[in-house]
Amino acid sequence: MLNGGSSSGKTELARSLQGVVAEPWLLMAVDSLIEAMPAALQNSGDGIEFASDGAVSPGPQFRELEAAWQAGVGAMARAGARIIIDDVFLGGSATQER
C-alpha cells in the first residue's frame, strides 16, 4: 500500500518496484478508479470534487464506487494476485482503518 499526496511519486515508486521484484505485481491506482468514473461524478458533490486550493472532497457516490473497487482489488489478492495499491487516504484515520 502506497499512500501519499497527489504527485508525490507513488506511481513512479510502484513502477520501479515492479521492475525489480521477481514475481509480477499488479498496480492498482485510485487515479484509475477516478478516470473510470462517469464524467458527471468528477468534480461533483456526489462524486469527487477537486478544489483550486488542492482540497479533495469525496461524495457519497464516490465512496460507494470506491468500496466496490476495494472489494474487487481484495478479491484479486485473495485469488493470488500480488498487488501494489497506489492510493490517497482522503478520510484520515478512518480511511487507514479500512
What's the pTM value of the predicted model, to 2 decimals? 0.78
> pLDDT, tens digit, for every residue of 46-94?
888 888 887 788 889 999 999 999 999 999 999 999 999 888 766 555 5
Whether 21 shows a pLDDT value over 60: the answer reads yes
3-state secondary structure of 87: strand
> pLDDT, tens digit, for every residue of 8-18?
778 888 899 99
Task: CATH number of the domain at 91, please.
Answer: 3.40.50.300
31 is catalytic: yes
Nearest to 71 by CA among 63, 39, 93: 63
Domain holding 45, by residue range, is 2-97
Share of the chain above pLDDT 90, in %: 37
Number of domain units in the chain: 1
Q: Are 55 and 43 in contact (CB under 8 A)?
A: no
pLDDT of residue 18: 92
The one catalytic residue among 31, 53, 86, 87: 31
